[in-house]
Chain A
């Protein structure tokens, strides 16, 4: 009797609790989550840490100071405090990644699950359209949309979001295909549930782990892509602080003041790295069988 009780308790654990338990056992994941929490803290309380005006207002007497006591990260060619610009830049960089991924995840999930659920001709049509979409490098699609909408942060978010839909849809269709052939889908259909209801209530909850993993991995890619576009002058426009834009503005003086390029880059890389680690850890936590394979 006494040995049976803990067994029962384990079985009662929901999948969510199991996953969080495994996640918190993973040391790398804890490191990643600490870094991400710090970044989120920066995003939320940016105005309390350092006022926005410090990141924007010109201050010529202080131009091109190297990192030191007064300016932790130094100043740029306009004398703006790089620390303030990095802190406020985190808002745009991270939001860009999150919103663009939201667009991709929403549209991709709808397209992928619909294609998998309907099957046959509808599946074929949706997949052929996605194939065509994918025939063009996604960066090029993104660039074309930016060419149409003009440069700016909202335009860039929609462009990145739009360009990444097919990739998302493909992965989730593959995941949903495994679900739609299950018996509980058939019985739901037999009970008279409508297609949209089955997708919403049965298909999506069963692939939520894949959506979560894919979205997490995706965020780091979109943050890097957004920074790249801003670096090319197609995203955030000066004087808006955004990590990629800060980097490209530092190009003029980076030979003698390398901090202009190294510091924003380090922030970008650490952000992307910790999100990638979290993505890997999530996959391991959801499916321990895959552990150590990729």
Chain B
């Protein structure tokens, strides 16, 4: 188990190398001129060329990547072309907002989606099942930013219950962004929980448990739900990356000064150091999450734990589970 985790952690390194190289090449498909960006329109050509030289921007592309990598490995991710601030400092200041938004939304999405999904599955074809399934379908089709705007229109502008944006209003300023981001995920968790539970309640072991005289609740939670957890853990891991993506949009709608808002601005301005640094942070965060998901797998499923201990076919098994 320990070896497996160590191997997965080590795998982050080559993955990040490839990912950063690809993104570096992508950003630089079309030329840009950071010297001109920093100095503005008034600077002479010589000054621009001088600054580009200092930034190492006159080097060939791959050499520039090498230089970026070398500095990054020494903890220096460079300065933003625009704000001239150390990018890591800036990310450090913004990351808490994004994390807060993401984790709050994930938490509420799970809290709402899982129990309702179980309810829909245990009471299949009931009124509650039909209305919740239909509602979740509607919510899944709503673009998140639109939902955010509608909530803002009603609760912030018409009724002024909550602030329309920013983070200065204490807990109140988190209500609308969290609600916006979590609703879509709660809906998809509901759908997946429902279908996983329905899959499992058709299995033989559920009938066995029933015939042994287990109560309905015990069968639902201890047998069917426990086996559905596998699918749900995979899904949670996967949706974390989407949640981060969703946060980018919600931050723009509610003007929360998080990582996403910074990333979008950096991309629009071609601020290479900032784009690269936010990518590294998000990429590492995501991969660590995936490792945690794999460990949680082993924790909730003794069959997989046994596989780890046997040390055979573990990757194949996990990959297969994930693909399914």
| A interacts with B | yes
- Is the CB of A272 closer than 8 A to any CB of chain B? yes
Given A137-B282, A228-B249, are A272 and B270 also a contact pair (CB < 8 Å)? no
- The answer on a CB contact under 8 Å between B323 and A174 is yes
Chain A 190-217: CB-based contact to B (< 8 A → 1; otherwise 0): 0000000000000000000000000000
Chain A 265-278: CB-based contact to B (< 8 A → 1; otherwise 0): 10011101100110
Q: By DSSP majority rule, is chain B's interface helix, strand, loop, or mixed? A: helix
Which B residues are CB-close (under 8 A) to A147?
A: 26-27, 267-268, 270, 275
- Is the CB of B299 closer than 8 A to any CB of chain A? no
- The answer on a CB contact under 8 Å between A262 and B267 is no
- The answer on a CB contact under 8 Å between A144 and B26 is yes
- The answer on a CB contact under 8 Å between A234 and B149 is no
Which A residues are CB-close (under 8 A) to B268?
A: 147, 151, 233-234
- The answer on a CB contact under 8 Å between A254 and B153 is yes
Closest to A167 in B: B238
Binds B, one of A7-15, A51-59, A100-108, A127-135: A127-135
Closest to A220 in B: B141
Alpha-carbon gap, A53 to B195, bound state (A)? 49
Alpha-carbon gap, A173 to B320, bound state (A)? 11
Alpha-carbon gap, A232 to B251, bound state (A)? 11
- The answer on a CB contact under 8 Å between B264 and A234 is yes
- Is the CB of B157 closer than 8 A to any CB of chain A? yes
- Is the CB of B137 closer than 8 A to any CB of chain A? yes
Chain A: interface residue total (CB-CB under 8 A): 49
- The answer on a CB contact under 8 Å between A143 and B149 is no
Given A136-B283, A137-B244, A174-B323, are A272 and B137 also a contact pair (CB < 8 Å)? no
Which A residues are CB-close (under 8 A) to B143?
A: 224, 227-228, 231, 244, 265, 268-269, 272
How far apart are A121's CB and chain B's nearest CB, in angstroms?
14
Alpha-carbon gap, A143 to B282, bound state (A)? 13
- Is the CB of A149 closer than 8 A to any CB of chain B? yes
- The answer on a CB contact under 8 Å between A144 and B153 is no
- Is the CB of B179 closer than 8 A to any CB of chain A? no
- The answer on a CB contact under 8 Å between B140 and A138 is no
Alpha-carbon gap, A228 to B249, bound state (A)? 7
Total A-B Cβ pairs within 8 A: 136
Given A261-B150, A273-B141, are A138 and B275 also a contact pair (CB < 8 Å)? no
- The answer on a CB contact under 8 Å between A273 and B282 is no
8 Å CB contact of B267 from A234, A254, A276:
A234
Which A residues are CB-close (under 8 A) to B153?
A: 254-255, 258, 261
Given A131-B15, A136-B19, A137-B245, are A273 and B138 also a contact pair (CB < 8 Å)? yes
Alpha-carbon gap, A8 to B262, bound state (A)? 65
8 Å CB contact of B140 from A265, A276, A292:
A276
Residues of B within 8 A of A (CB): 15, 18-19, 23, 25-30, 124, 137-138, 140-146, 149-150, 153, 157, 191-192, 194-195, 198-199, 241-242, 244-245, 248-249, 252, 263-264, 267-268, 270, 275, 279, 282-283, 286-287, 290, 319, 323-324
Interface CB pairs A-B, < 8 A, 16: A132-B18, A136-B282, A137-B244, A140-B263, A144-B27, A147-B27, A148-B26, A174-B323, A228-B249, A232-B248, A261-B146, A265-B149, A269-B143, A273-B137, A293-B198, A294-B195
By Cβ-Cβ distance, the 8 closest A-B pairs, closest first, are: A139-B245, A273-B141, A265-B146, A148-B29, A294-B195, A272-B141, A137-B241, A147-B267
